[in-house]
């Protein structure tokens, strides 16, 4: 219930404040490295889910 209260309150000013805090904590040079790592992780996850789906389709076609 408390989470729903806070999720409904995020607007552009709150997101800008979060972005500024992240910039202050990590610095401008570190953020591209973090985003690159995040993008690589997302790509690996998509590849893995695609591989699992292909394996499931092959198993289904054999039955």
47-59 residues labelled b (16+ CB within 10 A) or e (exposed): eeeeeeeeeeeee
Q: Are 34 and 26 in contact (CB under 8 A)?
A: yes
Work out the pLDDT band at 63, boundaries 50, 70, 90. Answer: low
Q: Give CA 53 to chain center in angstroms.
A: 21
Read off the pTM.
0.54
- Give residue-wise pLDDT tens across range 1-47: 455 555 566 778 888 888 888 888 888 888 888 889 989 999 999 99
């Amino acid at each position: 219930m408390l989470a729903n209260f806070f999720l409904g309150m995020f607007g552009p000013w709150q997101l800008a404040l979060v972005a500024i805090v992240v910039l202050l904590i990590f610095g401008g040079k570190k953020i591209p490295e973090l985003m690159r790592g995040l993008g690589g992780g997302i790509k690996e996850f998509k590849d893995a889910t695609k591989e699992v789906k292909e394996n499931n389709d092959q198993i289904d076609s054999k039955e």
